[in-house]
Structure 1
């Protein structure tokens, strides 16, 4: 008798989560936490660097944008490589890269050196996040994808908020360089754990037709009892329409509108997030509050995002993910508009910053959980990483535009009116795209 064929995607979807899968989630959570710490830290230390190096805000904009450029390049390059050589290899290399260059950034002596090192740090950061998303989404049941991928991304908000609280304590004692050095040491310490505990995606191995023995070994910790003679397939393998290449697949007939919709939404979401996290501490400080208080209030944006991430992910698994994400963007825009009409010393400022983070970070993270299910295995990492890579140009625009806005001397309510517009555009961009590709591959993935 012939051995029955096992569909890996169906097999994972039908089983409960195991300790092994929770361990993968924990490791990816740690990577994303360190990513969040590094991504937000420049906003918290910016006032100290401006003062120490006597830089104007406009001159500091390129330093802020350097990491964003690296993030974009890292994401765009890493996705096709992860679809070619595997998610695990790319993840390990990315963590080593951003750890090393963040450490070196703390030793920079000139603005040019700092910008160059932040660019290189961004290469690693840009490769890490999309491949964490892809790897985890391929290891967990589709019914839990929204909740668990967004749970992983709570690490980003936690790391960003941690950056604010650590900055408030470390800046007066150790200076801004200590925070960049810390952001480099932590990933380097994490590498041995990742090497030992982070597996390669089983769906990737099936798609690459690797030896059944390797696939059987990878499934064993999840309760799989198979022999090396077993035949494996995956619903996530590419369809004939999408077989023209990884990047070309993003623009094939079933996926073109999805790709463009995701790019526009992610771009606008990161634009508003980096405008707020990158320049809100400086804005609050210039309004008369001490830098420690400015860092604490800005950290509330990321702290609010932790709760928003959980709620959005929970809702996504129970109703239309698109509508939930779009509504969260619109609610976040309303909170940002409202901030502009408060006095900087108002007790409600922190509440509105918290609520804005709740909505906008929740929506942005929900988009990370939503995207992997829209692409087949053959170019899933490319689809997710290119969404993040193109979106990073929104972060670059936010980093540069923030310095320009503050240099214009615009009134606070007008500044925040401008900041809220990208969140509205993100919602409209998402709703303008189709719900899924018209393809049985995507339909089988639960969205």
Structure 2
């Protein structure tokens, strides 16, 4: 029977595989946006249909995160990740062959289920591949793959490398996880759990909401929700907000790439802050820096050079704090319910990813300027920082969770 310590001997290999899977995840999350300029006229989609198409994957992510977290606890992290990769690979390819709007939405929803299932498993694989003192850094390295994959997808769009049609991006996004899945299955050390450690689905949820962990769970959920409100508002609306301030659309897309590249570097910084002996103060400073970066971007003039710098700094700061949240989550629960705990937190966070774009749309409709919209994110970011610091202080005061 393999143990957790056996698993850590292959920690470097496990982290490399998790990073590659995260890059593919980031690429596939951006695929719909890359395909949209060609896909929308091909199907003569109305704005409402375009919104539904984009939202379908997001709703799938919620269900996938819940299922992926449960599979991680019941069948192991490796099985959970392989199932998720195959799921979003198959349905991404199926998206390329959709013949109607209804098929597009259904395939994108099912792709989202696979994408959502992958993330709790990736977080847990990364955390469990490292010693406790390095877990934040390990999760941050894995998470850095997501904005890197997004930057690659955006670069493919700008350079016109996706074949001049809308299907190719989904085909490539589907083949990559199917190619990686056998390597995950063959090379990732399995992490078996002794039978009497495996909590049933109901029992696992009961432990997540037990009196001793309820406050931790609620605080973690609130942090994830607020954090993803900010991230997804920026991912969905920043190009449009920049264009409305005077930038060309191609320039705004370039700023978005710099946002993702800054996020790669920021993720790595966040992991290092989380692994410090007393992380609460450096983590609080990271959230304060994120708020300051948003203010700076809101006040910058519509100059491309300044906006490129601002976009990179905002991406670095915002995804730095997001990496911190993903690093904290697996440290909040004991091993036997860690998948369920992380999966539910990720699912609640995805609700924030729905609210963020809707919030921006509501603010713009109410007459908010692009600068005002950016500034409105500052208190949300600081609130997420406050709940995260509370979480870290509580975790430090409590006994450490068993590995």
- Structure 2-normalised TM-score? 0.89
Structure 1 segment 109-148 matched on structure 2, within 5 A: 109-148=99-138
Aligned-pair CA distance for 1:249: 0.6
Pick from 367, 376, 394 the counterpart of residue 435 of structure 1.
394
Q: Is 1:89 the equivalent of 2:79?
A: yes
Q: Secondary structure at the match of 2:217?
A: helix
Deviations 1:63-99 (A, max 9, x none): 2221111111111122123212222211111000011
Separation of aligned partners in 2, 1:417 and 1:187: 38
Separation of aligned partners in 2, 1:286 and 1:243: 48
Higher Rg of the two aligned structures: 1
Range moving further from structure 2, 143-152 or 261-270: 143-152
Q: Secondary structure at the match of 1:344?
A: coil
Q: Is 1:282 the equivalent of 2:269?
A: no
Aligned-pair CA distance for 1:310: 1.4
> Cα distance 1:157–1:320, how it changes in 2: closer, same or farther (>3 A)?
farther
Deviations 1:100-135 (A, max 9, x none): 111222333444332222111111111111112112
> Cα distance 1:352–1:288, how it changes in 2: closer, same or farther (>3 A)?
closer
Divergent runs of 4+, >6 A: none
Separation of aligned partners in 1, 2:296 and 2:47: 25
Unaligned runs of 5+ in 1: 1-5, 210-236
Q: Is 1:78 the equivalent of 2:72?
A: no
> Cα distance 1:112–1:425, how it changes in 2: closer, same or farther (>3 A)?
farther
Q: Which residue of 2 aligns with 1:176?
A: 166
> Cα distance 1:289–1:47, how it changes in 2: closer, same or farther (>3 A)?
farther
Separation of aligned partners in 1, 2:69 and 2:373: 36
Structure 1 segment 314-393 matched on structure 2, within 5 A: 314-393=272-351
Separation of aligned partners in 1, 2:42 and 2:383: 37
Q: Which residue of 2 aligns with 1:248?
A: 206
Pick from 176, 184, 187 the counterpart of residue 186 of structure 1.
176
Separation of aligned partners in 2, 1:305 and 1:321: 20
Q: Which residue of 2 aligns with 1:233?
A: none
Separation of aligned partners in 1, 2:152 and 2:144: 12
Aligned-pair CA distance for 1:172: 8.1
Aligned-pair CA distance for 1:329: 2.6
Separation of aligned partners in 2, 1:7 and 1:440: 26
> Cα distance 1:332–1:40, how it changes in 2: closer, same or farther (>3 A)?
farther
More helix by share: 2
**Alignment check: 8 A CA contact 1:63 1:118 kept:** yes
Q: Which residue of 2 aligns with 1:269?
A: 227
Aligned-pair CA distance for 1:46: 4.2
Structure 1 segment 189-204 matched on structure 2, within 5 A: 189-201=179-191, 204=192
**Alignment check: 8 A CA contact 1:65 1:399 kept:** no
Aligned-pair CA distance for 1:171: 6.6
Q: Which residue of 2 aligns with 1:164?
A: 154
- Structure 1-normalised TM-score? 0.81
Separation of aligned partners in 1, 2:364 and 2:37: 13
Separation of aligned partners in 1, 2:381 and 2:41: 32
Aligned-pair CA distance for 1:250: 1.0
**Alignment check: 8 A CA contact 2:128 2:135 kept:** no
Separation of aligned partners in 2, 1:161 and 1:405: 27
Separation of aligned partners in 1, 2:243 and 2:43: 17
Q: Is 1:149 the equivalent of 2:107?
A: no
Q: Which residue of 2 aligns with 1:208?
A: 195
Q: Which residue of 1 aligns with 2:256?
A: 298
Q: Is 1:63 the equivalent of 2:70?
A: no
Aligned-pair CA distance for 1:177: 3.2
RMSD, matched Cα: 3.0
Q: Secondary structure at the match of 1:255?
A: helix
**Alignment check: 8 A CA contact 2:96 2:170 kept:** yes
Aligned-pair CA distance for 1:380: 0.6
Unaligned runs of 5+ in 2: none
**Alignment check: 8 A CA contact 2:25 2:146 kept:** yes
**Alignment check: 8 A CA contact 2:226 2:380 kept:** yes
Q: Which residue of 1 aligns with 2:378?
A: 420
> Cα distance 1:91–1:176, how it changes in 2: closer, same or farther (>3 A)?
same
Q: Is 1:313 the equivalent of 2:271?
A: yes
